[in-house]
Amino acid sequence: MSRRQITGFSNPTVKALRALRDKKHRKAAGKFLAEGLRLLTDARESGHLPEVLVMAEERDPHPLLAALEADVLAAGGEVIETTADILSKITGKDNAQAVCGVFAEFDTGLAALDRSKAKIWLVAQALRDPGNLGTMLRTGDAVGAGGLILIDDCADPFSAETVRASMGAIFTQQVAQARWEDFLPWLRGDAGQLVAASLRDAVPYRGAPYAAPCFIMVGNESRGLPEDYELACDLRVTMPMKGRADSLNAAVAGAVLAYEVLVALGG
Amino acid sequence: MSRRQITGFSNPTVKALRALRDKKHRKAAGKFLAEGLRLLTDARESGHLPEVLVMAEERDPHPLLAALEADVLAAGGEVIETTADILSKITGKDNAQAVCGVFAEFDTGLAALDRSKAKIWLVAQALRDPGNLGTMLRTGDAVGAGGLILIDDCADPFSAETVRASMGAIFTQQVAQARWEDFLPWLRGDAGQLVAASLRDAVPYRGAPYAAPCFIMVGNESRGLPEDYELACDLRVTMPMKGRADSLNAAVAGAVLAYEVLVALGG
């Protein structure tokens, strides 16, 4: 166990932590940041402890923070106390939370997924917006999904914005990353229904013949899904579009479908 | 009709347009910016023409852009040609779209709403995220809602980010802004059912007794709805929460409810 204080902006640890805001450095280090007592408590209660816990010296005492600190030290992690200014520098936010943690990135290989664990899985293809990605993780948690599978070039699931938008679901949902040409054979290697909202040869989303494990796929924010991805689906469904637009926000479409599938598969 | 070229960064028109990125200046001018041919075409087809159309000199010719230009000039508006660099300066984006337009802000008084025009209305209370706000407008368009009513201190519906996230729905959905103490008497002045997702004395959202015109209300991203707002609702509904979290993203919750109400009220 280890515990220390840092007061200098140019301290190499501060630089290393700050660099985790950048995707390239996150990949190289295999680590990511999560901010705020609520998020860190969600992580802890889901069995994830930070390797490094960084706390503001001027923080208000809180039993959950004390518990977190004790657990991190007991697990051999490091606890750093620093100034509010340095915390702001690390997180890049003017009003930084009084605490942040550094976590090891999770294994995001498809092989780590056990599809029998849940009736619903969410799939996103080339989803570029970290807020949408975090929102999908949060929705997945709400509907009891097993996790989120990111196809092709999606936003980084470990960015601060995704982690924040997930409201802790980054710690409860499994995340996998795969190219389409690897995902499809994996999917077909066992039972699994691939479903997408589509305008091509589709049935109404309400009352469609959903089957578990059901993989609900949404596409890129601007372009939607490529045609061949849609055609590879086992079930294409349409949702009512009463206005001018012919599509919903990707995270919204995924959520409306996910709640429909949840009901269809018996809650 | 008027048409001119601007090539200088310090041109006062460029400064005035650029200032519209700032809320204070938008309010003072009563105008807002929308970017991109798709958004401007959506606006035009919904009966909204920009007062000023700004185009890059180096743009590719496009029949929709030519039609827009002709309509703006015919309506007595102004067309400005400028450099890609100046367009980037106006919109604040590195890769600016080749065109943007300046619109007069719409009347957002409650008195302008005709609730009999639609079965569904969306209501957001203290919604702070412009992306969420734009997403709600987009969802409103999709479910055939009449518009979005913003209660208390919400994000600005005329910010560039909201307009972008609305995918054109800012031009098809009515928007109203009101304090709660003005909204509630307005609502009670005629038929209207106020509905919110809630954990207090609520019924399952699926199959709940929705009635038109149905006002679906969501609360602030962090705090949800104040208790007295929830208690003022005619119907409180719960949605399944299978995971750790007890809430959804506000725009997602609104969308799942809106699609349920759409079905309940006969599509």
Best residue in B256, B257, B261 for a mutation probing chain A (most A CBs within 10 Å): B256
Judged against a pLDDT cut of 70, whether residue B1 lies above it is answered with no
B116 and B98 fall within a common domain? no
> Which of A42, A142, A245 has its CB closest to that of B241?
A142
A81 and A163 fall within a common domain? no
Q: How confident is the model at residue A22 (pLDDT cuts 50, 70, 90)?
A: very high
- Domain termination site, one of A39, A71, A104: A104
A222 and A170 fall within a common domain? yes
The reported pLDDT for the residue numbered A245 is 84
A200 or B77: which leads in pLDDT: B77
Minimal CA–CA distance to A39: which of A169, A141, A176, A136?
A: A169
A130 lies in which domain range?
110-264
Q: How confident is the model at residue B92 (pLDDT cuts 50, 70, 90)?
A: confident
pLDDT tens column, A31-44: 999 999 999 999 99
> Which of A135, A241, A256 has its CB closest to that of B249?
A135
- Domain termination site, one of A36, A69, A104: A104
B23 and B59 fall within a common domain? yes
Percent of chain B scored above 70 by pLDDT?
Answer: 99
pLDDT tens column, A60-97: 889 999 999 999 999 999 999 999 999 998 988 877 67
- Closest-approach residue (CA) in chain B for A249: B135
Across the interface, whether the CB atoms of B243 and A206 are under 8 A apart is answered no
| Among the ranges given (A51-55, A152-156, A175-179, B82-86), the one the predictor scored with the smallest mean pLDDT | B82-86
Q: Average the pLDDT over B199-206 and give the result.
A: 92
Q: Average the pLDDT over B129-155 and give the result.
A: 97
pLDDT tens column, A93-113: 877 678 999 999 999 999 999
Host H or E run for residue A120: strand A120-125
Q: How confident is the model at residue B30 (pLDDT cuts 50, 70, 90)?
A: very high
CA distance A196 to chain B (A): 17
CA distance A57 to chain B (A): 25
pLDDT tens column, B4-28: 999 888 889 999 999 999 999 999 9
The Cα B212–Cα B116 span in angstroms is 9
Give me the DSSP letters along B205-257. STT----SSEEEEE-BTTTBS-HHHHHT-SEEEE----SS-S---HHHHHHHH
Neighbours of A65 (CB within 10 A): 18
A61 and A95 fall within a common domain? yes
CATH of the domain at A74: 3.30.1330.30
The reported pLDDT for the residue numbered A7 is 86
Work out how many domains chain A is built from and give that number: 2
Judged against a pLDDT cut of 70, whether residue B264 lies above it is answered with yes
B253 and B149 fall within a common domain? yes
Minimal CA–CA distance to B156: which of B38, B33, B257?
A: B33
Q: Average the pLDDT over B202-224 and give the result.
A: 97
The Cα A196–Cα A237 span in angstroms is 6
Judged against a pLDDT cut of 70, whether residue B144 lies above it is answered with yes
Give me the DSSP letters along B180-207. HHHHHHHHHTSS-EEEEE-SSS-EESTT
A117 alpha carbon, distance to own chain's centre: 18
**Is A251 within 8 Å of B229 (Cβ atoms)?**
no
Host H or E run for residue B35: strand B31-35
Q: Average the pLDDT over A132-147 and give the result.
A: 98
3-class SS at B93? coil
Judged against a pLDDT cut of 90, whether residue A3 lies above it is answered with no
The Cα A111–Cα A107 span in angstroms is 9
Is A208 in CB contact (< 8 Å) with chain B? no
Minimal CA–CA distance to A233: which of A266, A257, A267?
A: A257
B85 and B149 fall within a common domain? no
pLDDT tens column, A177-231: 999 999 999 999 999 999 999 988 899 999 999 999 999 999 999 999 999 999 9
- Closest-approach residue (CA) in chain B for A241: B142
The reported pLDDT for the residue numbered B97 is 75
Mean pLDDT estimate for chain B:
94
The reported pLDDT for the residue numbered A156 is 97
Minimal CA–CA distance to A261: which of A116, A138, A133, A140?
A: A140
Contacts (Cβ under 8 Å, ≥6 apart) of B28? none
Q: How confident is the model at residue B2 (pLDDT cuts 50, 70, 90)?
A: confident
Provide the H-helix boundaries in chain A.
12-19, 23-29, 37-45, 63-74, 84-91, 130-142, 160-165, 180-188, 227-231, 250-264
Judged against a pLDDT cut of 80, whether residue B95 lies above it is answered with no
The reported pLDDT for the residue numbered B64 is 95
> Which of B42, B241, B252 has its CB closest to that of A252?
B252
B29 and B130 fall within a common domain? no
The reported pLDDT for the residue numbered B157 is 97
Percent of chain A scored above 90 by pLDDT?
Answer: 86
CATH of the domain at A139: 3.40.1280.10
Across the interface, whether the CB atoms of A242 and B144 are under 8 A apart is answered yes
Q: Name the β-bridge partners of B124.
A: B150, B218
A73 and A128 fall within a common domain? no
The Cα B53–Cα A109 span in angstroms is 49
The alpha-carbon radius of gyration of chain B (Å, integer) is 20
**Is B197 within 8 Å of B102 (Cβ atoms)?**
no
The reported pLDDT for the residue numbered A8 is 87
Judged against a pLDDT cut of 60, whether residue A1 lies above it is answered with no
**Is A171 within 8 Å of A140 (Cβ atoms)?**
no
Judged against a pLDDT cut of 70, whether residue B90 lies above it is answered with yes
Strand duo A120-125 + A147-151: pairing: parallel
- List the 57-96 stretch of B: residues with Cβ below 8 A of A: none
Across the interface, whether the CB atoms of B169 and A251 are under 8 A apart is answered no
Q: What is the largest CA-CA distance in chain A?
A: 62
Which residues in chain B are contacts of A242 at CB distance < 8 A? 141-144, 262
- Domain termination site, one of B104, B132, B164: B104
Judged against a pLDDT cut of 90, whether residue A58 lies above it is answered with no
> Which tokens hold the place of B171?
């031009």
Best residue in B46, B121, B239, B259 for a mutation probing chain A (most A CBs within 10 Å): B259
A180 and A257 fall within a common domain? yes
The Cα A201–Cα A203 span in angstroms is 7
Which residues in chain B are contacts of A42 at CB distance < 8 A? 244
**CB-based burial label for A89 (10 Å; 0-12, 13-18, 19+):** middle
Contacts (Cβ under 8 Å, ≥6 apart) of B178? B110, B149, B150, B151, B186
The alpha-carbon radius of gyration of chain A (Å, integer) is 20
**Is A6 within 8 Å of A90 (Cβ atoms)?**
no
Which residues in chain A are contacts of B247 at CB distance < 8 A? 167
Q: Average the pLDDT over B149-161 and give the result.
A: 97
Q: What is the dihedral of CA A66, A69, A74, A79, to 10 degrees?
A: -150
The Cα B62–Cα B65 span in angstroms is 5
pLDDT tens column, A154-171: 999 999 999 999 999 999
B67 and B190 fall within a common domain? no
The Cα B100–Cα B20 span in angstroms is 12
> Which tokens hold the place of A1?
């166990």
Mean pLDDT estimate for chain A:
94
Q: How confident is the model at residue B140 (pLDDT cuts 50, 70, 90)?
A: very high
Half-sphere exposure (Cβ direction) of A66: Cα atoms closer than 13 Å: 4
pLDDT tens column, A250-262: 999 999 999 999 9
The reported pLDDT for the residue numbered B182 is 98
B17 and B126 fall within a common domain? no
pLDDT tens column, B47-67: 999 999 999 998 888 999 999
